Structure 1
Amino acid sequence: MIEVTIDSWKQLQQDREKKVFFVHTPFCATCQLAERMLAIIEETKPNQSFYRLNASFFPGFMEKNKIKSVPALLLVEKGVVRDHLYAFESVTKLHEVLEKWH
């Protein structure tokens, strides 16, 4: 997973390609479980890039896009959240969602 920093954030917002963001906070146990599920997906989809965004560092983004909770998986295109997933039910579910998004 590619860690989003404050410096890289500006560039990512201007990118016109679809991107998948994993939004988390460091002390969220559910986020840690969701991240492990995404790690499995990463192994099966080596061409898929995931961006890891710590919600604590981006409160403006969270508010602007009405992100309700973490963990969250976001499909972002041209700087706009096009779709989201809050319930990381299983690796199979994540795979299905990602297939739909791309």
Structure 2
Amino acid sequence: MDELAIEAYKTNKPKGTHVLFFKTPFCGTCQLAEQLLTLTLETMNGKALPTFICRAEEWQAYIEEWQVESVPCLVFIKDGHVMQKLYAFESVTKLYELYKKYE
């Protein structure tokens, strides 16, 4: 899971379905969510949707446009449209099922 700069996203948006993980540097809940997300992606053996880390403070325009209410937030995007937002990172199983839903 790589960090994605806002400039890179604006000039070269991923095609198809992709996932953006919004977080802030000093958010403890974000750190726990990132650990769960990392475990989930590892269980998918490289077959997960492209997933990128986004520093929320750099993405304010998109956060407002997509109505991201808080961090951590996982945003599933297909062809430029938000399909789903997830705020509660309850378990690896829940994350895995959500990824499978949008494959």
State TM-score, norm by structure 1. Answer: 0.90
1:71 counterpart residue number: 72
5+ long unaligned stretches in structure 2 = none
What is the CA distance between 1:73 and its match in structure 2? 0.8
Query: How do residues 16-95 of structure 1 correspond to structure 2 at under 5 angstroms?
Result: 16-45=15-44, 46-48=46-48, 49-95=50-96
The residue identity in structure 2 corresponding to 1:47 is K
2:9 counterpart residue number: 9
What is the CA distance between 1:44 and its match in structure 2? 1.4
State TM-score, norm by structure 2. Answer: 0.90
Q: Distance in 2 between matches of 1:72 and 1:6?
A: 16
SS at match of 1:26: coil
Q: Distance in 1 between matches of 2:6 and 2:68?
A: 18
How many aligned residue pairs are there? 100
- The CA RMSD over aligned residues, in Å, is 1.2
Q: Distance in 1 between matches of 2:4 and 2:65?
A: 18
Query: Which structure 1 residue ranges, 4+ long, deviate > 4 Å from structure 2?
Result: none
What is the CA distance between 1:7 and its match in structure 2? 2.6
Q: Distance in 2 between matches of 1:8 and 1:42?
A: 22
Point out the structure with the larger helix share: 1
